[in-house]
Structure 1
């Protein structure tokens, strides 16, 4: 399969890649999910897999590669590289009509060659996609977790870290670090439960595939940060400055719990191409607010004139 190659995807590829991903994952759903059970499996049909906007986000923020076969686009692979030594295969897809030709194996080989410094690769797949389990094991991956819904895999290179400073399989519980220089430190599969960070610089830090449940962030400078592909259901934001913040391609999750804004200054806010059914605005300053170009103040004035008009 020497005529297979990887090319960095661009925003011009977004629609075609989305179409191809949707076609591939929908075909997988037909193969592994019963139409009578109404099962949702996000490893088979990942969140946003049919969204062009999600594809654009991944092209801009992750390492997204086109899979080319004889100059034809036949698939894609998306990876997250954390630090220098750790990589995660987020998604890989080959068009159904090209599967079974060894392309997936070649793509895995090419992506590992693209990032030779990565010593550890991991990925997840559905427990239902048993052919994937055999495929990843053939590619040198080992199973680290098996649940009813998901299988997790990892592949480690045998070579040690090039800088000779790797600390592996050590119990450092209850340690304290004060006034230390730990720039460019990398952590993978590290248990930091209950840890605390105070008066420390975390500039340009990267967090991916981490569990931050029940964490608290107070008095934090998060300017110019990126928040994308997050599940913030039932979270609370209090005393937060949101100047210049953009919320795009956001929904209320499966439960559909509504967002609540109270005692907030939202001057100049714009809401476009959004669903605002059953939204309620009470006891708020609506000066200058417009809906479809019509001043809300005029709409309310007209409404109350009609409501208060005495019958002839």
Structure 2
């Protein structure tokens, strides 16, 4: 039997892992999607799956393991662990030429052993990928939710009763918590709709795979935070201090709705390797602004001289 191991991926692995991921998910798309559906199912072709920059981000910020068979990288498995107890398999991919030999199953088993404190694992897959449904059932996962396009699976890991410290399936709505120490608490599949957090210390909190639509964040200290892999379509950011903020590998979403900047101070900012097609700048201070190291003021002056002829 071939020797299979998993190791934490490094930036040096980003190129080969991107190539394998693209090859794997493109094959899945060809198998399960019609031409009209291409790029419409994010479980079959996840956002940024063909981007080396997305892979670098996941290597840096997530638990990204390369799957190795006899010293050859043949795939990857990416997991998110919230606190100690809850794990999510974000992506798993094995080079198509190595599929059907149990390597994916063995990789998942190794990840479960790596995070031995996790008591509940979860995974989402496309409703189209029938082979995935059988695969995860065989690994002990149970379907807990489904929509027309997506199946949601979970796996409960049994732990000794004496080690449990859990409040489960309780009705706790409309309770007020005042001056309570809830540090290092873990929340999983809880309904916090309509909840209010005020004058509280949420420093070093970790929020992942949560629905925060229609929420309000006001008077919040987000200093030195990481905000990544978000859907901010149709949102508003008002009265924000953006000093030192770095926007990278960002697009305008599927609808390609343009961004609108109004009354913003962007002095000293830099746009590099960006698509600025059809961008408009009106009634703005452009002193010292350059395009390809040429002063825009000089370009406009030359333009108006030509117009006046």
TM-based fold match above 0.5: yes
* TM-score w.r.t. length of structure 1: 0.97
Shift of 1:32: 1.1
Map of 1:178 onto structure 2: 178
Shift of 1:34: 2.0
Map of 2:242 onto structure 1: 242
Map of 2:293 onto structure 1: 293
Shift of 1:164: 3.8
In 2 relative to 1, CA 222–160 (structure 1 residues): closer, same or farther, beyond 3 Å?
farther
Provide the rounded CA distance (Å) in 1 between the counterparts of 2:198 and 2:37.
49
Provide the rounded CA distance (Å) in 2 between the counterparts of 1:184 and 1:161.
20
SS at match of 1:180: coil
Question: Which shifted more, 192-201 or 229-238?
Answer: 229-238
Provide the rounded CA distance (Å) in 2 between the counterparts of 1:145 and 1:76.
26
RMSD over aligned CA atoms reads 1.2
8 Å CA contact retained: 2:29, 2:38 = no
TM alignment of 1:184-263, pairs within 5 A = 184-263=184-263
In 2 relative to 1, CA 38–17 (structure 1 residues): closer, same or farther, beyond 3 Å?
closer
SS at match of 1:181: coil
Provide the rounded CA distance (Å) in 2 between the counterparts of 1:90 and 1:185.
23
Shift of 1:185: 0.5
Provide the rounded CA distance (Å) in 1 between the counterparts of 2:90 and 2:264.
37
TM alignment of 1:1-312, pairs within 5 A = 1=1, 3-35=3-35, 37-38=37-38, 40-159=40-159, 164-309=164-309
In 2 relative to 1, CA 300–39 (structure 1 residues): closer, same or farther, beyond 3 Å?
closer
Provide the rounded CA distance (Å) in 1 between the counterparts of 2:179 and 2:36.
60
User: Can you give the 5+ residue segments of structure 2 that lack an aligned partner in the other structure?
Assistant: none
Provide the rounded CA distance (Å) in 1 between the counterparts of 2:257 and 2:4.
46
Residue-pair matches, total: 309
Runs of 4+ aligned structure 1 residues displaced above 4 Å come to: 36-39, 160-163
In 2 relative to 1, CA 205–37 (structure 1 residues): closer, same or farther, beyond 3 Å?
closer
Provide the rounded CA distance (Å) in 2 between the counterparts of 1:230 and 1:141.
27
Provide the rounded CA distance (Å) in 1 between the counterparts of 2:269 and 2:94.
42
* TM-score w.r.t. length of structure 2: 0.98
SS at match of 1:100: coil
Provide the rounded CA distance (Å) in 1 between the counterparts of 2:80 and 2:293.
42
SS at match of 2:91: strand
Provide the rounded CA distance (Å) in 1 between the counterparts of 2:240 and 2:36.
45
Shift of 1:305: 1.2
User: Can you give the 5+ residue segments of structure 1 that lack an aligned partner in the other structure?
Assistant: none
